[in-house]
Amino acid sequence: MTVRDGGQVRPERVAEDLPKAVEAIRSAGLEVPMITTELLAADDPTAVPILSTAGKLSIPFLKPGYYEYKFVDVRKELEEAGSKFRGLVGVAQKYGVQVGIHNHAGNIGAPVWDIARIMDTLDPKWAGYYFDLQHATAEGGVAGWKIATLLTMPRIKMLAVKDMYWKKTVAEGWDENDCPLGQGMCCYKEFLRMVAQGGFQGPISLHLEYQIPGVSNEEGIALSRAKAGEVMAAAKRDLDYLKLLVSQAYEVV
């Protein structure tokens, strides 16, 4: 669930609305294993309300926001981000919530080695990674994603699953092009075997960020009742393929 501005639950109403949302989801026989937030530091006024509410609801994992490089003094920027992240993890631990930083391309933590030296100073029970193979592939190319996977393996808390390939356009040059799972350059068969062998048992979040014909636009999926069938068909196709890959990977272990 998204607990952030424009999300399913607004941060300032988390104490009132998150319990209602979780109750509705659990009454349908589902669970809420993680929430996505924009939290960056312990002194964010919404940090304690979000973390305490998540703890009361036994939501085990939280994705924080993104620490951005300004590309002026990267050592200093990394140090500042590390200080904020340590503080946030400290508060999360108090409420029994584990934090997994997303290795999103272009941000601190994307190449993994930068944030790893900070992560190594923290308790692996409470601080780890929300690992994203698409972004690891975009940042790491041929073998970088393997290095990133092995480096983060003992601390992978959650997985984000989506696919992409590089596409050259006249206006913007080379750019990531999101696509259906299995149609891009992300090596999910090998990757899932690696995480299975590493003992990963956390939640896997499947993302549909590509354009679905007649449904998507540049801002993302514009879902309407008329197009819900196309969206759900695409989601089922990707989910079925993901389930197949996961079952194959874990059968070998």
Q: What confidence score (pLDDT) does residue 220 get?
A: 47
Q: What are 82-141's pLDDT values in tens digits?
A: 999 999 999 999 999 999 999 999 999 999 999 999 999 999 999 999 999 999 999 987
Q: What confidence score (pLDDT) does residue 48 get?
A: 98
3-class state of residue 202 by DSSP? coil
Locate 126 and state its tokens.
Answer: 């409470």
Q: Which of 64, 33, 66 is nearest to 202 (CA)?
A: 33
- Compute the mean pLDDT over every residue in the chain, rounded to the nearest whole number: 94
Tell whether the model's pLDDT for residue 172 goes beyond 90: no
The residues spanned by each domain of the chain are 1-161, 162-199+207-253
Query: What average pLDDT does this structure show over 223-235?
Result: 80
Q: What confidence score (pLDDT) does residue 227 get?
A: 80
Tell whether the model's pLDDT for residue 57 goes beyond 70: yes
Q: What confidence score (pLDDT) does residue 224 get?
A: 59
Cα–Cα distance measured from residue 98 to residue 74, given in angstroms and rounded to the nearest whole number? 27
Q: What confidence score (pLDDT) does residue 142 get?
A: 79
Show Cβ contacts of residue 188 under 8 Å, excluding neighbours closer than 6 positions: 133, 161, 163, 181, 182, 242, 245
Q: What confidence score (pLDDT) does residue 171 get?
A: 81
For 1-161, which CATH superfamily applies?
Answer: Divalent-metal-dependent TIM barrel enzymes (3.20.20.150)
Tell whether the model's pLDDT for residue 31 goes beyond 60: yes
Locate 104 and state its tokens.
Answer: 């999103």
- Whole-structure pTM value: 0.94
Query: What average pLDDT does this structure show over 57-70?
Result: 98
**How would you classify the pairing of strands 127-132 and 173-179?**
unpaired
AA letter at 191: F
Ranges of beta strands (E only) in 94-182 are 98-102, 127-132, 156-161, 163-169, 173-179
Q: What are 185-222's pLDDT values in tens digits?
A: 999 999 999 999 999 999 999 999 998 887 856 544 55
Tell whether the model's pLDDT for residue 2 goes beyond 50: yes
Locate 48 and state its tokens.
Answer: 């304690």
Cβ–Cβ under 8 Å, residues 139 and 105 = yes
User: What percent of the chain is modeled with pLDDT above 90?
Assistant: 86
Q: What are 35-49's pLDDT values in tens digits?
A: 999 999 999 999 999
